[in-house]
Amino acid sequence: MMINPISLFLNSYNERVPNWKKITAATLEKDKNLDRVIKSIGRFIVKNDLDPKRLVDAVVDSYYKKNKRYPTIFLFKDHEALSLYKDYELAHNIDLTEEQKIRVSIKKSKIQVKNLQEFGIIIGEAIRSLSVTGKGDPYFLLAYGLREGISEKHLELWDKDDVIKKIVLDEIFLDK
């Protein structure tokens, strides 16, 4: 079964752009230049063996982040689009290890506490508020001695695994 890259591209493109920028079959029939551009994008996708949805996501995300506007249709078929596609693909396929996930979560909790401290809340109250609202990392809360509301899984790992304690305490108290 042959999949039509042009229709996949147009479907993905129309999902990502506002209504006034969508491309319909009627638009392509009326505007032959636009039809040629779309066909050249289709050839570009086939030639480089690209996923049309990922191409659209990469170009739209990058362009919108940089210019706060949606890209023109011409930006989907040159070397820059290919570069954005490859970078986008790599950035979204990286999975964090369990240790990295813990470190990221601890950093987020530290930032939340620091933000609360800027509003004049003392550290103990800031940590307690993270516990009450459920926004604090379980290991972060355990490091400060709060055990209520923490899942059994986290409590068991905390009590048995000194490696997790070291990771958490290093992340909390060592500024990197």
- 93-143 confidence digits (pLDDT tens): 666 678 888 888 898 899 899 999 999 999 999 999 988 988 899 999 999
CA distance 114 to 121: 9
For 28-62, the pLDDT digits (tens) are: 899 999 999 999 999 988 888 888 999 999 999 88
CA distance 43 to 115: 51
b/e map 28-64, b = 16+ CB within 10 Å: beeeeeebebbeebbebbeeeebbbebbbbbbbebbe
| Nearest C-alpha neighbor of 99 from the set 171, 9, 156 | 171
Integer angstrom CA distances of residue 161 from 7, 100, 145, 165, 166: 53, 16, 16, 7, 9
The model carries a pTM of: 0.52
- Tell me the longest C-alpha to C-alpha distance in the chain: 69
Q: Give the DSSP per-residue string, 59-126.
A: HHHHHHHHHSSPPPGGGGSSHHHHHHHHHHHHHTSPPPPHHHHHHHHHHHHHHHHHHHHHTT--HHHH
CA distance 93 to 54: 12
In this prediction, residue 2 carries a pLDDT of 46
